[in-house]
Amino acid sequence: MKNSRRNIIIIVGAIIVVCGCISLISLGVLGYLFPFERVVGLFSANEPVAVVPEEIIVTPEETFIEPTPTESIVLPSPTNLPTDPSLTDVPPEPPTPEPIPPEIALQMDQIETEVITLRDLQPTGPVSRRLLSPEDLRQKIESDFFEDYPVEEAEQDTIILSALGLLDPGFEMFTFYQDLLSEQIAGQYDQNTKEMDIIQDSGFGGIERLTYAHEYTHALQDQNYDIENGLNYSSESCKEDSERCAAIQALLEGDASMLELEWFNNYATSQDFYDIQDFYKDYEGPVLESAPDFLREDFIFPYIYGQSFVEYIYNNGGWNAVNNAYRDLPLSTEQILHPERYPDDRPIEIEKPDLSLILGDQWQELDSGVMGEWYTYLILAHGREPDARIDDVEAQNASEGWGGDYYLVFYDQQSQKTVVVMRTLWESETDAGQFFDAFQKHSTARFGPPSNVESGKINWTHPEGFTEIAVDELETTWIFAPDEATALLVKSAIP
């Protein structure tokens, strides 16, 4: 899962509704609020995107360049390979940027000055800005994304996520990302090249101005804290610790999202307001709307919960406290979901067993890492089978007492079977019991009635294999295996 989760960290930057729509909802511009549970109406194909309520009356006072609605993108992590196989031997020539029209450059300069004033964070130098065609920008971002994500890794992610109950076994992850990037791309701040890439034929209306405020905040973050090296936030580090990267991304995006709202409240014009309203009134994103349930939720995590985290920090110490968070980084999604627990409630590391000797040479370790509170919640509440999803509030309560965990995923290519182990340390026996009860309910809905029920242990034999959940004081252990014999073998290696 760490590859898929790392790619969510990367690809989330390419989602327009994440950057613009979520921020505007927070402003009240789109007329509805977010509960912790599923974000109603934001991504559902069955519900319309909300528009500005009629009672909000705006009188235009300023005039700007005629805007052409475009899409917006926020901070991606860098990686680089063309998706077209014909381009693998001969890399495409880098696009030649068009000069930025003076009137647009002037607006960009003004927005930068406004963001600096609001954020109280000083730049260390100018940010290079480039105008690219939509096709050139799409190629650049696809090259960045797919260099570190070949088809083979996408197939592995489908195996892992289907075993967790989050994806259908035949889901085409690679094709999905290709389609999503093609649908959503618009612009980016590239933390590798330190450049702002902007679509050249889009004009510079309300959507672009709002997005520029968000993206320039990322540039200030990078100049002051060095996102890749200072924060250790890169594609390589996210492979190793996706839970930590998810927390850092929430800080980065929450900071930029809160700042863009401040910019909108203080500096946006009534024309900006009309532009944004017109854009979202007609906006469609069929690929995103049809994404698996847990992916849609995970895409928005750093924006909704990241912004709430940053607002909590800000309300208890202003921008100086937010700046200090970059020096004492959040380490888990638990701290993002419960900012009052930051920074003291740190995740507890649990030693992983070595299953390779127990399982044998035919088994390959596909993945290992930390599931975290957020993904524990997603497994319970946003799996692939709607009937197996438990109530959001119950799933939230069941995952809330998380203290630390490890998970391991092994795969036998010959039999095409999977082994999953997740061991979680909870903060109290009550918390462990809540998760045990919730997981029992989830698994019964997913696999049918249990085949065996004992005190502190329940298992299921089902067409997918064998599943067991056990609780022992502060710990729970979940095992998913092709059969009971393999599960017993795995259990023998767990201390």
Lowest mean pLDDT: which of 54-63, 172-181, 430-439, 453-462? 54-63
Number of domains in the chain: 2
pLDDT for 89 beyond 60: no
- Beta-bridged to residue 197, according to DSSP, are 130, 188
Report the pLDDT value the prediction gives residue 281, as an integer from 0 to 100: 85
pLDDT for 480 beyond 50: yes
Report the pLDDT value the prediction gives residue 200, as an integer from 0 to 100: 66
Instruction: For residue 19, give the DSSP letter.
Output: I
- Model confidence over 219-264: pLDDT tens digits? 999 999 999 999 999 988 998 999 999 999 999 999 999 999 999 9
Report the pLDDT value the prediction gives residue 197, as an integer from 0 to 100: 84
Same domain, 408 and 267: no
Same domain, 283 and 363: no
pLDDT band at 74 (very low <50, low <70, confident <90, very high): very low
Same domain, 141 and 198: yes
- If one compares 68 and 265, the residue with the highest pLDDT of the two is 265
Residue 478 in domain? yes
Length of the chain: 495
Report the pLDDT value the prediction gives residue 298, as an integer from 0 to 100: 94
Q: In the listed set 341, 374, 409, which residue is the last one of a domain according to the structure? A: 341
Same domain, 367 and 294: no
Report the pLDDT value the prediction gives residue 176, as an integer from 0 to 100: 92
Residue 67 in domain? yes
Report the pLDDT value the prediction gives residue 60, as an integer from 0 to 100: 32
pLDDT band at 207 (very low <50, low <70, confident <90, very high): confident
pLDDT, mean of residues 89-104:
69
Report the pLDDT value the prediction gives residue 22, as an integer from 0 to 100: 45
CA distance 472 to 438: 15
pLDDT for 92 beyond 60: no
- Model confidence over 414-454: pLDDT tens digits? 999 999 999 999 999 999 999 999 999 999 999 999 999 99
pLDDT, mean of residues 252-280:
94
CA distance 92 to 139: 9
Report the pLDDT value the prediction gives residue 48, as an integer from 0 to 100: 26
Residue 279 in domain? yes
The fraction of the chain above a pLDDT of 90, given in percent, is 64
User: What is the largest distance, in Å, between two alpha-carbon atoms of the chain?
Assistant: 74
Same domain, 448 and 313: no
Same domain, 303 and 438: no
Report the pLDDT value the prediction gives residue 94, as an integer from 0 to 100: 56
Q: Which domain CATH number covers 473?
A: 3.40.1000.70
pLDDT, mean of residues 344-361:
95
Same domain, 323 and 396: no
pLDDT band at 138 (very low <50, low <70, confident <90, very high): confident
pLDDT band at 4 (very low <50, low <70, confident <90, very high): low
Residue 149 in domain? yes
Report the pLDDT value the prediction gives residue 202, as an integer from 0 to 100: 64
Report the pLDDT value the prediction gives residue 86, as an integer from 0 to 100: 41
Residue 169 in domain? yes
Report the pLDDT value the prediction gives residue 368, as an integer from 0 to 100: 96
Q: In the listed set 292, 309, 341, which residue is the last one of a domain according to the structure? A: 341
pLDDT, mean of residues 36-56:
27
pLDDT for 16 beyond 70: no
Lowest mean pLDDT: which of 25-39, 293-307, 379-393, 445-459? 25-39
H-helix or E-strand spanning residue 475: strand 475-481
pLDDT band at 3 (very low <50, low <70, confident <90, very high): low
pLDDT band at 63 (very low <50, low <70, confident <90, very high): very low
pLDDT for 30 beyond 50: no
pLDDT for 31 beyond 50: no
Report the pLDDT value the prediction gives residue 142, as an integer from 0 to 100: 82
Residue 198 · residue 187 · CB < 8 Å: yes
Q: In the listed set 341, 366, 385, which residue is the last one of a domain according to the structure? A: 341
Q: In this structure, what token pair is assigned to residue 178?
A: 């290709």
Report the pLDDT value the prediction gives residue 117, as an integer from 0 to 100: 97
Report the pLDDT value the prediction gives residue 58, as an integer from 0 to 100: 34
- Model confidence over 311-334: pLDDT tens digits? 999 999 999 999 999 999 999 999
CA distance 4 to 292: 13
Same domain, 320 and 409: no
pLDDT, mean of residues 367-393:
97
Lowest mean pLDDT: which of 24-33, 197-206, 285-294, 458-467? 24-33
Same domain, 323 and 424: no
CA distance 220 to 119: 9
Same domain, 247 and 364: no
CA distance 145 to 164: 24
Residue 348 in domain? no
pLDDT, mean of residues 131-156:
85
User: Please, what is the angle between helix 242-267 and helix 206-225, to 10°?
Assistant: 130
Report the pLDDT value the prediction gives residue 140, as an integer from 0 to 100: 82
- Model confidence over 281-304: pLDDT tens digits? 887 889 888 999 999 999 999 999
Residue 306 · residue 252 · CB < 8 Å: yes
Same domain, 115 and 244: yes
CA distance 164 to 162: 5
- What's the mean pLDDT when you consider all of the chain? 83
Instruction: For residue 419, give the DSSP letter.
Output: E
The range of the structural domain enclosing residue 407 comes to 356-492
Residue 377 in domain? yes
Report the pLDDT value the prediction gives residue 1, as an integer from 0 to 100: 59
Instruction: For residue 17, give the DSSP letter.
Output: I
Same domain, 333 and 374: no
pLDDT for 37 beyond 70: no
Residue 349 in domain? no
